[in-house]
């Protein structure tokens, strides 16, 4: 995805509001048990600027003065703290997709599933909210370009993926949308693990055609103005 022109850079007030929303979302990942300590990271794109959580700082300690901003090329635009070590992965998603926000977690059930299968089985129709069967990106060391590339491969045609022996990544057109997809993905993984743990029965799975039908229905879901 091409960078936006310099004129698309946002003013300090807009960046400050986006930072507040980012911090609130990052704290929610801890409250909801999707990350432990400083694991996981969150970012949001404002024009051609990307705000991202800093490396190794507990989310409950972040203040407005801790804002970290980079360009799509990774060059610092604001702040003094080091950005998350997963910055290459976040930037790769912004360059290749229409993402406006990215959430990465180490959610327990999703991470467990990432060690068992190459693709999350179609246990529930809400897989449609992520674009279809959720793939597992092959393992690579955190913070590397190789991991970023593996994630992009798993995201093709999808809004989320699992990272093998690592966690989850989802994106959306807002922080709320990206976070909702993260929560949905963790729930899907928990449902599959629960159903597949029965010693004598195997869970019934949906077909790809059934999930595609739900994708069509979801396009008209919700209130209409």
Active site residues: 86
Q: Are strands 41-46 and 49-52 parallel, antiparallel or unpaired?
A: antiparallel
CA dihedral (60, 64, 65, 66) positive or negative: positive
Helix, strand, or coil (residue 175): helix
Cβ atoms of 209 and 137 closer than 8 Å:
no
Cβ atoms of 113 and 192 closer than 8 Å:
yes
Tokens linked to 87: 């910055």
Cβ atoms of 110 and 189 closer than 8 Å:
yes
222 strand-pairing partners: none
**Rounded to 5 degrees, what are φ and ψ at 57?**
-110, 120
Rg (C-alpha) for the chain, rounded Å, is 18
Say how far apart CA 23 and CA 41 lie, in whole Å. Answer: 10
Tokens linked to 74: 């990774």
Say how far apart CA 219 and CA 18 lie, in whole Å. Answer: 27
């Amino acid at each position: 995805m091409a960078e936006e022109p310099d004129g698309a850079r946002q003013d300090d007030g807009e960046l400050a509001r986006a930072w507040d929303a980012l911090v609130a979302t990052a704290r929610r990942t801890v409250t909801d048990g999707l990350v432990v300590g400083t694991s996981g990271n969150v970012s949001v794109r404002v024009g051609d600027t990307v705000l991202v959580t800093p490396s190794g700082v507990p989310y409950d300690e972040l203040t407005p003065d801790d804002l970290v901003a980079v360009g799509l090329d990774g060059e610092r635009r604001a702040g003094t703290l080091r950005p998350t070590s997963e910055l290459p992965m976040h930037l790769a998603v912004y360059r290749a997709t229409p993402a406006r926000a990215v959430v990465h977690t180490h959610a327990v059930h999703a991470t467990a599933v990432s060690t068992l299968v190459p693709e999350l089985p179609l246990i529930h129709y809400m897989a449609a909210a992520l674009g279809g069967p959720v793939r597992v990106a092959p393992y690579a060391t955190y913070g590397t370009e190789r991991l970023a590339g593996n994630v992009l491969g798993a995201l093709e045609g999808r809004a989320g993926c699992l990272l093998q022996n690592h966690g989850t990544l989802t994106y959306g057109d807002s922080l709320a949308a990206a976070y909702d997809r993260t929560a949905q993905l963790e729930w899907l993984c928990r449902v599959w693990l629960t159903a597949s743990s029965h010693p004598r029965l195997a869970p019934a799975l949906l077909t790809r055609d059934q999930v595609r039908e739900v994708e069509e229905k979801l396009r008209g879901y919700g209130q209409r103005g």
